[in-house]
């Protein structure tokens, strides 16, 4: 097995991700700050339909970061309620299209299908994992929340969030590093 490379925690802003995604490696720990959009199954289905119909998306996809989450109701004194990651595989049918349109990063939990891994590499993007089961703690790193599309979907509406040092782990990187692989070298070296 090859050398496993891990960095200390990096602080990144979402505006830097399009440029920095290619330098991140599977296993890196980061604290992410900036604008992130929530989107889950139902919202992804509508986004795909808008794209197919040539309509305008609810947010600029090029350079964006999507968090697969369906936050609970807002608690008093907080910007948002519990906001943990959703299983990412449910968005796999839509991810390659969005990555090809310029999506920089995705945040969720769990493994991704080979088509998504290929699209991440092809587009120099990154997939982060957030810690599942810690939604009540994660909300403390979200300072703003605004519903921007599909309000009728409730917790699955598209929301614009502001992260402040949200802790994440690079799960899939732009050169094929994958924390879910076992056996051969799990972390790509460049």
Q: Which residues are catalytic?
A: 44
Measured between alpha carbons, how far is 165 from 2 in angstroms, rounded to an integer? 31
Pairing of strands 126-129, 142-149: unpaired
CB atoms within 10 A of CB 65: 24
Measured between alpha carbons, how far is 58 from 150 in angstroms, rounded to an integer? 9
DSSP strands (E only) in the chain: 10-13, 29-38, 65-67, 105-108, 126-129, 142-149, 158-172
Identify the bridge partners of residue 16 per DSSP, sorted by sequence position: none
């Amino acid at each position: 097995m090859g050398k496993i490379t891990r960095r200390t925690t990096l602080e990144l802003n979402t505006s830097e991700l399009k440029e920095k995604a290619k330098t991140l490696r599977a296993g890196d720990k980061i604290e992410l700050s900036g604008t992130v959009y929530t989107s889950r199954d139902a919202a992804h289905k509508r986004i795909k339909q808008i794209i197919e119909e040539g309509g305008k998306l609810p947010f600029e996809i090029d350079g964006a970061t999507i968090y697969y989450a369906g936050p609970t109701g807002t608690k008093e004194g907080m910007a948002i309620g519990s906001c943990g990651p959703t299983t990412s595989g449910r968005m796999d049918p839509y991810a390659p299209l969005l990555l090809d349109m310029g999506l920089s990063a995705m945040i969720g939990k769990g493994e991704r299908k080979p088509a998504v891994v290929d699209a991440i590499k092809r587009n120099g993007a990154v997939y982060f994992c957030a810690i599942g089961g810690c939604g009540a703690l994660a909300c403390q790193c979200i300072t703003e929340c605004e519903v921007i599309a599909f309000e009728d979907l409730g917790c699955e509406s598209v929301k614009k969030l502001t992260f402040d040092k949200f802790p994440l782990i690079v799960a899939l990187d732009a050169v094929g590093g994958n924390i879910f692989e076992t056996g051969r070298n799990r972390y790509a070296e460049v």
